[in-house]
A and B are shown apart, each in its own frame.
Chain A
């Protein structure tokens, strides 16, 4: 994959991450309910956070080493 498209992927992940953690998507989990006793918003943020870390890891390990 070319350097340019890898950089585009990085920006795409960044924008997705920003949208995920902002209104209005955030309001989906901003409710007085939870998974068991754990608040829904807490689960939403931490699970989403972990997901994006994995995504960043995946994107970083496949970068072109010849750059």
Chain B
């Protein structure tokens, strides 16, 4: 393919990225952030998938089988603990104004300058090979697509060189827009998220074409590969050290997802909301899962089609479609790879630049007093130019490494060197997060020993392999001493080079870190920072309000210092807002200690915590608090927090208790209403006969000459009303006796049929009056029960049926053996329960019962809705008494509506109750 077409496409793609970044920045200025969601955050994390993933994984899979998956399984494992671990780091960085890994470690260990320098140097040394790896990927993929060998062409004649220049201009423009390094690069993050989508789509397109366009699907590739003996070995982990290498790479990638400078940049510095971690913790592993689905099939497909080209297996993803004449698809795949490489270069360069400028360049300028005493905007300009210079330095170093070393190695080998380097940060960071006793000296000792071991066991052998240094010491050991061989240190020769290096470097690192920490004394600043870091969720507020210093600074000097770095307007606004929030006077000449601390935090975002500490110290006379004062201050603050938490807990309990009381109160009010309703019903029922009795007796009393026949009629009516009155009172009394358990039960033998006949005989006159038909269906089933009480139940149910059945209707009464033990009633008064039971049913053809009242009709005092507004038809006690009687017999009663209309009351009682009265 024509080189200019490829270069033009790459240039067009970079311009598109710039437009996306510009649009995102513009949107942010309008107050609408396009990156403020979990999806963009997760996609920006996918900057982890670099050219290594895109090209290198295929190359690794073609030679080592499934081992490449460890690089993606490791981050998945770490994603499970993103919420507890990464959230803690994010919270610390936000409250402390931290913007790089070097700053994080330095701040944790008392804002130690030496630590910041060491971490920066180690990161630069460790990550430059990784950036070089990306450049190599761009170069080789460009050469493959354009058909150039690339050999012999000088760097100036290489078109990739100009691509790198364009990329550098892009980073310079979007990476140094603000002097505040802790400020988010929204434009860049949007561009990175877009690149993640492009590289995923391009890789999937390549995978689908190779699997389904060239071969007959994934299974076809596996089937053909299984027939080749040399490819069968890729299906398993076969090498003797396969498990150790697998484990080492898993550990390396677990650490890399947090400690790689670019991951720290996107995961922590660019994070807008901690809650985005929730989505990213599963979406990012899902991205890794999808992008790796076709890696092994592509590697096997390439090995099948180009068995003589295994040395260039890194480029199978591009060379296979190209060999099939798919130029357009190949160009798209090239853009995907270009995306993967440029995304990494952009973010990694910015992350390294922040560290270099804040921890190396600016402190050097500060020490030469180049920045001190300046009162104009030139300080900001110097800071920005230092950053730009750092960007150029990083890119230049990467180009040099690419030319000198990286070309000799596969992509994965170069990447693993970087992974092993950043793994050395793990003890200092993780220990700093969870171990208060960890000290600055321990961290220093651990980092120095770990990095030294890494250089000796991995970096130097890789340089020797590239011919940059003599290979003699690798083969014979340092100084000819056999047990100082870099790849078999102290005679440990059974491990592969990566596992070997990881083992020794982390062992020495951890040992020195722990041993020195336990045996060194910590300063007050260190103690204070340890408390803040380890207990960040409890002490975030403390760090905002308290300092470890009794600073005495002149407020104008402090203001001037801040103005020099962030501009006059912004400095004034920030100080004013802070002073208002914490009720601090700004009219005095003496600065409040909190303002000094706040200024230092603001400057940390611009020049790093170590440099900021130096700058603030130059205008403030700081008197360090004693250890006792620090501990008392933290204790007091934590006691306040504990007290606050206890108060919140008590308040929550009180709210719960209030809710319970309210519920009880509502219940009592409902019962009170029921009682009032009942009293109303009873008094109404009593008043009606009383009124009749009074009226009739007055008539008889006032008319002594009344005819005898009429007098007898009136007196009969008086007697009837008295009986009604007596009946009502008896019912109330009975209910009370049933409820209190005072009513005796007299068991006797009878039959179900006899009970039904007796009940229907009693109700027959009432039924006849309404022309109702009563039908009985029962067996001569013997039953032992309190005959009178069961008759009372049947009479209640029948009289209700008569009352609610329209004229000419039908009432059916039936009794049968109910032999279902699973529905059998459990005797509540510990009497033996027989399994055989009798089921009684009273059915009518009335209007039925409203469904919502089916459960309520047995409640005492219950009246059908709105009855009290007209005339209540009954006292509301009949069914309540019936239920009580059935329960006393160890049975159950309920009501249901029939499908063809009408209601049905059903009760079940044991057939053979005890002979003795209970």
- Chain A residues within 8 Å of B, Cβ to Cβ: 6-7, 10-11, 13-14, 17-18, 21-23, 26-27, 30-32, 34, 36-39, 41-42, 45-46, 49-50, 52-57, 59-61, 63, 65
Contact = CB atoms under 8 A, between A and B. Distances in A.
B62 to A, nearest CB: 15
Contact of A7 (B84, B250, B286, B293): B84
Contact of A10 (B84, B235, B279): B84
Contacts of B69: 45
A60 B281 contact: yes
Nearest to B247: A22
Q: Which 9 residue pairs spanning A and B have beta carbons closest together? A: A57-B282, A39-B235, A14-B80, A37-B222, A37-B223, A7-B84, A13-B80, A23-B243, A60-B278
B80 A41 contact: no
A56 B66 contact: no
Contacts of A6: 83
Interface in B250-278: 250, 275, 278
18 contacts: A7-B84, A21-B70, A22-B246, A22-B247, A26-B243, A27-B243, A30-B236, A31-B236, A32-B236, A38-B218, A52-B80, A53-B76, A54-B282, A59-B80, A60-B278, A60-B282, A63-B83, A65-B275
Contacts of B700: none
Nearest to A53: B285
B340 to A, nearest CB: 21
B247 A56 contact: no
Contacts of B218: 38
Contacts of A39: 222, 235-236
Nearest to A6: B83
B76 A17 contact: yes
Contacts of B286: 53
B403 to A, nearest CB: 37
Interface string B217-250: 0111011001000001001110000010011001
A61 B278 CA distance: 7
A65 to B, nearest CB: 8
Given A31-B236, A42-B66, 4 more contacts: A14-B78, A26-B243, A41-B66, A49-B289
A46 to B, nearest CB: 7
A11 to B, nearest CB: 6
The prevalent SS among residues of B at the interface is helix
B464 interface: no
A25 to B, nearest CB: 11
Contacts of A22: 243, 246-247, 250
Contacts of B80: 10-11, 13-14, 17, 52, 55-56, 59
B232 A32 contact: yes
A8 to B, nearest CB: 9
Contacts of A17: 76-77, 80
Nearest to B218: A38
Contacts, number: 102
A17 B253 CA distance: 14
A10 B218 CA distance: 35
A49 B250 CA distance: 14
B81 A21 contact: no
B84 A11 contact: yes
Contacts of B223: 37
The prevalent SS among residues of A at the interface is helix
B842 interface: no
A52 B284 CA distance: 13
B296 interface: yes
Contacts of B285: 49, 52-53, 56
Interface in B201-227: 218-220, 222-223, 226
* Interface size, B (range): 35 or more
A66 B279 CA distance: 16
A46 B293 contact: yes
B81 A14 contact: yes
B81 A49 contact: no
Interface in B784-800: none
Contact of A53 (B66, B247, B289): B289
A65 B222 CA distance: 46
B79 interface: yes
B236 A21 contact: no
Contact of B219 (A18, A32, A38, A49): A38
Nearest to B281: A60
Most chain B CB atoms below 10 A, which of A27, A54, A60: A60
Contacts of B78: 14
Contacts of B247: 22-23
B73 interface: yes
B289 A23 contact: no
Contacts of B278: 60-61, 63
Interface string B422-465: 00000000000000000000000000000000000000000000
Contacts of B289: 46, 49-50, 53
B73 A45 contact: yes
Contacts of A10: 80-81, 83-84
Most chain A CB atoms below 10 A, which of B226, B236, B247, B285: B236
A32 B73 CA distance: 22
A61 B222 CA distance: 37
Contacts of A26: 237, 243, 246
A14 B77 contact: yes
A27 to B, nearest CB: 8
A41 B235 CA distance: 7
A18 to B, nearest CB: 5
Given A10-B83, A38-B222, A60 B279 contact: yes
Contacts of B237: 26, 30, 41
Nearest to A57: B282
Contacts of A49: 73, 76, 285, 289
B79 A56 contact: yes
Contacts of B76: 17, 49, 52-53, 56
Contacts of B73: 21, 45, 49
Nearest to B234: A39
A44 to B, nearest CB: 10
B236 to A, nearest CB: 5
A67 to B, nearest CB: 8
A42 B84 contact: no
Given A39-B235, A49-B73, A60-B279, A11 B243 contact: no
A25 B806 CA distance: 78
Contacts of B77: 14, 17-18, 21, 52
A59 B79 CA distance: 11
Given A42-B235, A49-B76, A21 B250 contact: yes
A27 B81 CA distance: 26
Contacts of A18: 77, 250
Contacts of B235: 32, 34, 39, 41-42
B282 A56 contact: yes
A48 B334 CA distance: 32
Given A49-B76, A52-B76, A37 B66 contact: no
Given A14-B78, A61-B278, A36 B219 contact: yes
B83 A7 contact: yes
Given A7-B84, A17-B80, A45 B66 contact: yes
Interface string B324-336: 0000000000000
Contacts of A61: 278
Contacts of A63: 83, 278
Contacts of B70: 21
A11 B81 contact: yes
Given A53-B285, A60-B279, A41 B236 contact: yes
Contacts of A13: 80
B292 to A, nearest CB: 8
A1 to B, nearest CB: 13
B95 to A, nearest CB: 15
